[in-house]
Amino acid sequence: MALAFAALLWHRVAKVSLDDEAPASDESRALLLEQAQRDDAEVVKKAREIQAAIEDGAISFLSTEYRYMGIFMALFSIFLFLVLSSEDGFSTSGRDGRPPALLNGAFSAIAFLLGAATSVGSGYLGMRIATFANARVALEARHGVAEAFMTAFRAGGVMGFGLAGLGLLMLFVGICLFFAVFGSDYEGVYEAITGYGLGGSSIALFGRVGGGIYTKAADVGADLVGKVEQNIPEDDPRNPATIADNVGDNVGDIAGMGSDLFGSFAESTCAALVIASVSGLCNPDFEHKWVAMQFPLLISAAGIVGCLLTAFVATDFRPARNLQQIEPTLKMQLLISTALLTPVVYWLSVSSLPESFDIHTGNADASGALVAITVKNWYMFLCVAAGLWGGLIIGVQTEYYTSNAYRPVQECADATRTGAATNIIFGLALGYKSAILPTLVIAVIVYTGFTLASMFGVACSAIGMLTTLATGLAIDAYGPISDNAGGVAEMAEMGEDIRERTDALDAAGNTTAAIGKGFAIGSAALVSLALFGAFVTRANLGYSDVSILDPKVFPGLLIGAMLPYWFSAMTMKSVGKAALSMVEEVRHQFRTIPGIMEGTTKPDYKRCVQISTEASLQEMIAPGVLVMGTPLVVGTLFGIRTLAGVLAGSLVSSVQLAISMSNTGGAWDNAKKYVEAGATEAARALGPKGSECHKAAVIGDTVGDPLKDTSGPALNILMKLMAVESLVFAPFFASLDGGNGLLFKFLGGAQ
């Protein structure tokens, strides 16, 4: 259903033609303006050329990036197979009634490749629809806000429903294929299927970091030289970095974001399946065991149906018809889908799960046996509903701190009266404050899930937060598509009135993108905790074994809490280095190419695209090695208890840092747009474009770019990827000197 609906939405976007030869009276809406200020055919021709340039740049970058990723996928799958298969010495007979480790290694590697390929496909799909739709949205804006809004939202829906459907389909196909080999061994199947989440997050890491470095290097170069130094509008065709900036919106904010949220879906589902496989749901006396064991997938499937019905509200029944209706219409999508899915989740919980079942808490009694609790099926409804509504609360709170319709962003804009420094101070304070409520919401969700159903409840809460994944992705992808549409409108010289409409679409998109980041961060925290619980289960540890009072756990906790800062420093410095090269190149072109400012000579766009491409591909390697190498080194040398501390520390540290970075950057971006729009008396008092207030707002936005689009979002993947990698390799780490690690064994067994 999801894939069919995505195809339908793509078809409806394609009806917006880029044919400049169609007559103006053609009822097929060939998108030609009546002759007004310029020749219609020339406008459409320019829009088509700009779209082609953006698409070529995005395809070129992704093709190069995916080529390197293909090599990584092949090598890491071999490494995964060899390490996991070595757990019992590559035996073909197995032990303790379990399948041989060789089988687990082979199928984990296959699942890894399947997840990585799905992640690549999801990112590529998003990039193609975004580059297909950007010029169409710009041209539709000439007919009105409703037409442009519906086109942008439908294009975002292609990615949202395409990714949700593809991810669910490939996971279910993988499970069915694995059962054909493993038989009825749920534990063996779900242990192997965790490779699916590892593959998805591995690609997401490089997509987020590489794409984020690409887009922000171009964005910083375009803004600092073009808007601040040369005083020309954003996306002005005279700016050499403008094509690279628009390409970056697609490869970072679309392809990277899609891979990120796909990874969250895959990992949360895998964590829930692993925990369920060692719970009472596997009771052979339960008649409908197969249905119960697919409960996490059923929740995601129900989410697709609910989001599909909700999408018609924005695309057909009640689209935004003026500038003031854009944000409320998008926010209504989340509210309706959440309300619609709540009773559905209850029905699924009581109909697919046994009336009650046992699940262990991870704690042991005096005899050493794991303590189990009895879980009623309606408890699972409460767990999923807590995640579902908690995600909505986080999204609404994020809107308050990032939309220029509310006081926090307006205060940032007003602070530009005294320069960029006060704007930056206000923005940092806003970001730190915005982390309070999401942290409290996540804490309540964790308490609810763990109290009712131990770690299985936490994992299902994470799935609940991602139940509206299709809608969240649609409104998230809507933002970069609208941003690109504004660039096309500016470069094709469509006029100030059209640019005003696309700017309004983009401003709403910045807010919805921030809402999407809030969902991603909240779900990432829950997913990481669920994966942590699954890791402890697979490593044969009780929760008391990973107490912070343990001398092996606490050092890991400190190191884990430090990792997000190290990682953020690396990604921010990478953006800075790439931006330095971009700024120098843009300045060089303005100095040495005559006729740029007069518009008689075209800048060298390809050189700026090349700088962003080379910088992002080079700079994404070191952060990737840090994230993927840490669990392997710690687990191998220091053992599973120290690794558990690292996972807990990175989770606790990443959440607040990611929220504050994301919201600070989003607030600075919309503060800049608040100053530029001059929509209110307060905004007009700050001065027009080119004023000192506007320059201060642009500098704040530039500082925030790597926070909200590179370092902040990438922290989601850091905490998820480290946790899922630890889960996949847990049997191997546990086999090394009883889980104590090789270093202690080398030191003579010192404890």
Kindly write down the DSSP assignment for every residue of 5-61, as one continuous string. Answer: HHHHHHHHHHTS---TTS-TT-TTT---PPSSSS-HHHHHHHHHHHHHHHHHHHHHH
Lowest mean pLDDT among 2-16, 91-105, 304-318, 639-653: 91-105
* Backbone φ and ψ of 156, nearest 5°: -65, -35
pLDDT of 399 higher than 50 = yes
Judged on CB neighbours under 10 Å (0-12, 13-18, 19+), 618 is middle
Judged on CB neighbours under 10 Å (0-12, 13-18, 19+), 17 is middle
What are the C-alpha distances in Å from 165 to residues 61, 157, 183, 318, 327? Answer: 26, 12, 26, 25, 26
Q: If pLDDT is split at 50, 70 and 90, which confidence band does 297 have?
A: very high
264 vs 727: CA distance, rounded Å: 15
* Backbone φ and ψ of 257, nearest 5°: -65, -40
Please identify which residue in the block is written with the tokens 């005096």. Answer: 366
Closest CA to 456 of 357, 561, 333: 357
The answer to whether position 397 is within a domain reads yes
Lowest mean pLDDT among 29-38, 622-631, 661-670: 29-38
Closest CA to 632 of 715, 511, 721: 721
As a whole number of angstroms, the longest Cα–Cα distance in the chain is 86
* Backbone φ and ψ of 85, nearest 5°: -70, -20
- Per-residue pLDDT tens digits for 470-525: 988 888 888 888 888 888 888 887 777 787 788 778 777 766 776 777 777 888 88
Question: Rounded to the nearest 10 degrees, what angle do helices 2-14 and 145-182 cross at?
Answer: 150
pLDDT computed for residue 25 by the predictor: 42
Closest CA to 186 of 265, 272, 264, 262: 272
Please identify which residue in the block is written with the tokens 């019992």. Answer: 88
CB 137 within 8 A of CB 148: yes
496 vs 141: CA distance, rounded Å: 12
CB 250 within 8 A of CB 60: no
The answer to whether position 381 is within a domain reads yes
| CA angle, residues 20, 25, 29, in degrees to nearest 5 | 60
pLDDT computed for residue 207 by the predictor: 82
706 vs 742: CA distance, rounded Å: 39
CB 639 within 8 A of CB 740: yes
- Which residues touch 351 (CB under 8 Å, ≥6 apart)? none
- Per-residue pLDDT tens digits for 200-233: 888 888 888 888 888 888 888 777 887 778 877 7
pLDDT computed for residue 284 by the predictor: 64
Please identify which residue in the block is written with the tokens 């100030």. Answer: 496
pLDDT of 751 higher than 80 = no
Closest CA to 387 of 268, 273, 534: 268
- Which residues touch 481 (CB under 8 Å, ≥6 apart)? 130, 133, 134, 137, 152, 155, 156, 254, 509
Closest CA to 508 of 323, 707, 699, 252: 323
The answer to whether position 27 is within a domain reads no
521 vs 257: CA distance, rounded Å: 12
The answer to whether position 285 is within a domain reads yes
What string of DSSP letters covers 590-603?
HHHSTTTTTTSS--
The answer to whether position 613 is within a domain reads yes
Rounded mean pLDDT of 81-93?
A: 77
Domains identified in the chain, total number: 1
- Per-residue pLDDT tens digits for 139-195: 888 888 888 888 888 999 999 999 999 999 999 998 888 888 777 778 888 888 888
Handedness of CA 459, 465, 468, 471 (dihedral sign): negative
DSSP 375: E
The answer to whether position 30 is within a domain reads no
Radius of gyration of the chain (CA): 26
Judged on CB neighbours under 10 Å (0-12, 13-18, 19+), 690 is middle
Closest CA to 319 of 95, 449, 157, 205: 157
Euclidean distance between the first and the last CA atom of the chain, given in angstroms as a whole number: 56
The answer to whether position 751 is within a domain reads no
Buried b (16+ CB within 10 A) or exposed e, 619-634: bbeebbeebbebbbeb
Handedness of CA 77, 79, 84, 89 (dihedral sign): positive
Joined together, the tokens standing for residue 740 give 């104590």
Mean residue pLDDT of the chain comes to 83
85 vs 303: CA distance, rounded Å: 37
Closest CA to 471 of 307, 595, 317, 345: 307
Please identify which residue in the block is written with the tokens 């309004």. Answer: 504
- Residue with the larger pLDDT of the pair 31 and 590: 590
Q: If pLDDT is split at 50, 70 and 90, which confidence band does 361 have?
A: low
- Which residues touch 495 (CB under 8 Å, ≥6 apart)? 37
pLDDT computed for residue 36 by the predictor: 43
Joined together, the tokens standing for residue 34 give 């009546």
CB 34 within 8 A of CB 26: no
What string of DSSP letters covers 127-172?
HHHHHHHHHHHHHHTTT-HHHHHHHHHHHHHHHHHHHHHHHHHHHH
Closest CA to 11 of 134, 148, 154: 154
Joined together, the tokens standing for residue 41 give 């055919």
**What domain range includes position 435?**
2-21+37-746
Rounded mean pLDDT of 99-111?
A: 84
- Which residues touch 176 (CB under 8 Å, ≥6 apart)? none
Q: Which residue type does 162 have?
A: G
| CA angle, residues 570, 216, 60, in degrees to nearest 5 | 105
- Per-residue pLDDT tens digits for 335-356: 899 999 999 999 999 998 888 8
150 vs 159: CA distance, rounded Å: 15
Joined together, the tokens standing for residue 719 give 């905490």
Chain centre distance of CA 558: 26
Work out the percent of the chain whose per-residue pLDDT is above 90: 25
pLDDT computed for residue 286 by the predictor: 66
